[in-house]
Structure 1
């Protein structure tokens, strides 16, 4: 008969083996995504845009952020989408779109978020404006400078591909966390 300790130890070993296999299944895509996220986070254009949005939006309270996100979601997929259009026409979104297109399908999306989890720029239209309750922001920005997060493999509805998302904290020249960046990486481009 198996003891409770043996069952627990077996479960832990299975979970550890599963985690190792999952990491082995996408190391190239993870390395690529983290390198790109760090590169984007260090770009002066990105840092300046995030600092500016933080300055402009510092007085938004949670209810106002929620209202903006609800407005964004209501406009998603509609032709009359002034809030989405405004975001997609910013210099930061143009910069991110250029980076996205340069990678020819390897990068599925790039999202830059401010210190409240609101998108500050993006390479493609997202389903929501606020990422502040998602691990891509929580596990990077709130963790501080140098923090990164890699999502589980998933099918992304907004991009239509199997991907991982690799996120990294954006820091200013003083070394303070000011936002986060997420890079979606298509696994098919790595044969994964």
Structure 2
């Protein structure tokens, strides 16, 4: 029998489907951390892991060709199993040099926001009795930072009870985990004070045994992750207000240090929109490893050098500074960006048509959603504001700053 090309193609698709169907299920451990991941029992008493992070991992694994079995287990047992190749992987874990040496880390599968919670305000954390969940990422981070841990317990709810009994002064916990304990305004943490600590990327680590058996899987998994993460990391009203205060001070300082109006005038101009899009296409194809001649020209402008010097003076707080013309093109930049034309991005669109009566008022600032930058492994937020002609004739462009949000929120207490 001679098979026609169409039949051969169908056989190929069938073979791939059979291979994927026969691929063994991923055997993954996670830990109890409502609402990210939690054990849930059905009517027959059978338990299964559910939650947003579980959904993210199972989605990316499924799109990569694997079914997944996720079990909730204590962190210490999960780490023991990962180190000894008894499981395929463990999530969601704060990165560590030890694990990086023996396992393969994916891109972030969850974005955690850590706060110190306390029953009283003004706690001196360096001399406080601090409680954590045993084996948690918070516990490891505190030890690495030189804090002394007074008590380790099995669950977050026990930490809240210890705070109420004055057995500990402060507890380090993911904000969403604390929120998961609160069923209403009278919930466990309703009357506690909080102090922002950091944004923590949490990862899935594949065991060495699994990586050797499926060396391409982690790459496929990472490609599907962004489309599987359902929600962005939201900022509370108090966090947004605090960021706007910080951003306004920075913008006022920058405006006094650099002649932004002159920089907008001195920046390069392209004759047509088609030219802009053509350069932007070339720019995006090369960045960030290489640059087009126009990018090199921009980086050598006095305004760009001034933006870079100003950025450096803030020691990691400012991650980039961009000056954008009214047509959406870059007039100056502190470092090479991923694209030249900014006209399709919210930081430009939300500002260029604003009728502003005062310079850099907090209500006029645009704050982007929080995003995780894989190249720098930092959480960032873009803040931007319109620039106005001195004669009141209208908007002349937009100034945009990237902020390391973990640094920008330091000092926030609620």
Tell me whether the two structures share a fold, i.e. TM-score over 0.5.
yes
Matched, 1:31 2:245: yes
- Give unpaired runs (5+ residues) of structure 2: 1-233
CA distance in 1, matches of 2:253, 2:376: 22
- Give unpaired runs (5+ residues) of structure 1: 1-19
Given that 2:283 and 2:291 are in contact with CA atoms closer than 8 Å, whether structure 1 keeps it comes out as: no
Question: Residue 158 and residue 35 in structure 1: after superposition, are their counterparts in 2 closer, same or farther (change >3 A)?
Answer: farther
1:39: Cα distance to partner?
4.0
CA distance in 2, matches of 1:106, 1:65: 31
The one-character-per-residue Cα deviations of 1:8-51 (angstroms, maximum 9, x if unpaired) are xxxxxxxxxxxx96222343333212332344356662111102
CA distance in 1, matches of 2:291, 2:236: 42
Given that 1:112 and 1:181 are in contact with CA atoms closer than 8 Å, whether structure 2 keeps it comes out as: yes
Matched, 1:142 2:353: yes
The one-character-per-residue Cα deviations of 1:66-97 (angstroms, maximum 9, x if unpaired) are 11211211231344632221111111110100
| TM-score after normalising by structure 1 | 0.77
1:22 to 236, 241, 251: 236
2:262 equivalent in structure 1: 48
1:182 to 384, 400, 404: 400
More strand by share: 2
Matched, 1:155 2:378: no
Larger deviation, residues 166-175 vs 30-39: 30-39
1:166 equivalent in structure 2: 383
Given that 1:41 and 1:168 are in contact with CA atoms closer than 8 Å, whether structure 2 keeps it comes out as: no
1:157: Cα distance to partner?
4.7
Given that 1:88 and 1:122 are in contact with CA atoms closer than 8 Å, whether structure 2 keeps it comes out as: yes
Question: Residue 34 and residue 177 in structure 1: after superposition, are their counterparts in 2 closer, same or farther (change >3 A)?
Answer: same
CA distance in 1, matches of 2:243, 2:254: 16
Question: Residue 142 and residue 99 in structure 1: after superposition, are their counterparts in 2 closer, same or farther (change >3 A)?
Answer: same
1:114 to 325, 350, 361: 325
Question: Residue 157 and residue 173 in structure 1: after superposition, are their counterparts in 2 closer, same or farther (change >3 A)?
Answer: farther
Given that 1:75 and 1:84 are in contact with CA atoms closer than 8 Å, whether structure 2 keeps it comes out as: no
Question: Residue 93 and residue 80 in structure 1: after superposition, are their counterparts in 2 closer, same or farther (change >3 A)?
Answer: closer
More helix by share: 1
